[in-house]
């Protein structure tokens, strides 16, 4: 039990922990820094967190379909505070990755929030968002379910289980309970259908796999055993099926700065970069 009593007025203080310096109680830039701009129509500014992986996978899936979706992916290192640079804040006032600028029209469009980016690209290229009204609605249902649920998984379970400077039993139990409930929601749905919206792979799967698929595959928080993920047999089947897609394998490498060197592509500017510019090829 804790004897902490909240004060009448909260004041910020150093909390410690791995990501303590990535958050602050005010918005806006902390320093002037322009964003780089490459030669392709789409400029992505991101990091290979689960939300960032969504966008890398989406672009690689579009490229695999032969769409004219070439893109530059620039690294935003949130540990260094890149998300608080003036250029990044201009395209995402919320200072969170991923963010993107679409230069295909007369006026560049900023697109922020991973779900908004997925919808924008799906509608622009007519891919991974079904035209059938009922299936489209079901896709949106699951996409927004993921967007609303992820804070419990990442900001809640992931934070208190893996990153908090102290272990708090109540907090871990609270968010573990919710994470397992969400996995059960997914498992029940995927017992009925191949993919979340039905028989078709959609942006709902891309978004949800980036969080829950990677979780059950043991890539988030080192928590697979703790959560008994093997018991969610339908989620495991779906996660492995999506993980086998070549575009997914490429997409999760984009803006990745951790893991084995051969899985890290800090920046992506050409399709050939996956073969020539991973960290095992260039060192560092």
Identify the CATH number of the domain in which residue 44 sits: 3.40.30.10
Q: Which pLDDT band, with edges at 50, 70 and 90, does 19 fall under?
A: low
Shared domain for 122 and 146, answered yes or no, is no
What separation in angstroms does the CA of 73 have from each of 40, 76, 84, 276?
10, 9, 18, 16
Q: Is the pLDDT of residue 21 over 90?
A: no
pLDDT of residue 2: 66
Shared domain for 202 and 272, answered yes or no, is no
Residue 3 domain flag: no
Shared domain for 86 and 159, answered yes or no, is no
Query: pTM score, two decimals?
Result: 0.96
CB neighbours of residue 238 within 10 Å: 25
Contact 228, 236 (CB under 8 A): no
pLDDT of residue 284: 60
Domain span including residue 193: 133-245
Contact 121, 213 (CB under 8 A): no
Shared domain for 233 and 180, answered yes or no, is yes
Residue 84 domain flag: yes
Shared domain for 93 and 155, answered yes or no, is no
- Radius of gyration from C-alpha coordinates of the chain: 19
Residue 258 domain flag: yes
Tally of domains in the chain: 2
Q: Which pLDDT band, with edges at 50, 70 and 90, does 23 fall under?
A: confident
Question: pLDDT digit string (tens) for 192-234?
Answer: 999 999 999 999 999 999 999 999 999 999 999 999 999 999 9
52 Cβ neighbours under 8 A, 6+ residues apart: 46, 97, 98, 114, 254, 255
Shared domain for 123 and 137, answered yes or no, is no
Question: pLDDT digit string (tens) for 76-96?
Answer: 999 999 999 999 999 999 999
Contact 135, 198 (CB under 8 A): yes
Question: pLDDT digit string (tens) for 30-76?
Answer: 999 999 999 999 999 999 999 999 999 999 999 999 999 999 999 99
Q: Which pLDDT band, with edges at 50, 70 and 90, does 1 fall under?
A: low
Three-class DSSP labels, the chain = CCCCCCCCCCCCCCCCCCCHHHCCCCCCCCECCCCCCCCCCEEEEECCCHHHHHHHHHHHHHHHCCCCCCEEEEECCHHHCHHHEHHHHHHCCCCCCCEEEECCCCCCEEEECHHHHHHHHHHHHCCCCCCCHHHHHHHHHHHHHHHHHHHHHHHHHHHHHHHCCCCCHHHHHHHHHHHHHHHHHHHHHHCCCCECCECCCCHHHHHHHHHHHHHHCCCCCCCHHHHCHHHCHHHHHHHHHHHCCHHHHHHCCECCCCCCHHHCECCECCCCHHHHCCHHHHCC
Nearest to 208 by CA among 155, 129, 150, 133: 150
Residue 111 domain flag: yes
Nearest to 265 by CA among 37, 58, 84, 72: 72
Residues 141, 109: Cα–Cα separation, whole Å? 25
Shared domain for 57 and 104, answered yes or no, is yes
Question: pLDDT digit string (tens) for 119-173?
Answer: 999 999 999 999 999 999 999 999 999 999 999 999 999 999 999 999 999 999 9
Structure tokens at 243: 């993980």
Question: pLDDT digit string (tens) for 159-199?
Answer: 999 999 999 999 999 999 999 999 999 999 999 999 999 99
Shared domain for 219 and 142, answered yes or no, is yes
Q: Which pLDDT band, with edges at 50, 70 and 90, does 13 fall under?
A: confident
Shared domain for 210 and 262, answered yes or no, is no
Shared domain for 194 and 138, answered yes or no, is yes
| Proportion of the chain above pLDDT 90, given as a percent | 93
Q: Which pLDDT band, with edges at 50, 70 and 90, does 22 fall under?
A: confident
Shared domain for 48 and 112, answered yes or no, is yes
């Amino acid at each position: 039990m804790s004897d902490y009593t909240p004060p009448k007025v909260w004041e910020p203080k150093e909390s410690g922990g791995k990501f303590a310096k990535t958050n602050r109680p005010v918005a806006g830039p902390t320093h002037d820094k322009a964003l780089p701009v490459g030669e392709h129509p789409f400029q992505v500014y991101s990091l290979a967190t689960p939300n960032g992986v969504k966008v890398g996978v989406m672009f690689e899936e579009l490229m695999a379909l032969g769409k004219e979706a070439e893109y530059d992916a620039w690294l935003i290192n949130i540990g260094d505070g890149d998300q608080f640079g003036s250029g990044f804040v201009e395209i995402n006032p919320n200072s969170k990755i991923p963010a993107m600028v679409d230069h295909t029209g007369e006026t560049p469009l900023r697109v922020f929030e991973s779900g908004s980016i997925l919808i924008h690209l799906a509608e622009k290229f007519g891919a991974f968002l079904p035209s059938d009204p009922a299936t489209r609605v079901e896709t949106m249902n699951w996409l927004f379910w993921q967007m609303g649920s992820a804070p419990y998984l990442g900001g809640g379970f992931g934070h208190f289980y893996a990153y908090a400077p102290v272990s708090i039993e109540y907090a871990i139990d609270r968010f573990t309970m919710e994470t397992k409930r969400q996995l059960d929601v997914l498992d029940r749905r995927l017992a009925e259908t191949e993919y979340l919206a039905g028989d078709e792979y959609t942006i709902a799967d891309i978004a949800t796999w980036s969080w829950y698929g990677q979780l059950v595959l043991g890539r988030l928080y080192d928590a697979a055993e703790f959560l008994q993920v093997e018991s969610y047999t339908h989620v495991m089947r779906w996660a492995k099926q999506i993980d086998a897609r070549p575009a997914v394998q490429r997409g999760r490498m984009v803006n990745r700065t951790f893991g084995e060197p051969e899985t890290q592509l800090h920046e992506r500017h050409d399709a050939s970069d996956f073969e020539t510019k991973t960290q095992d090829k260039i060192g560092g």
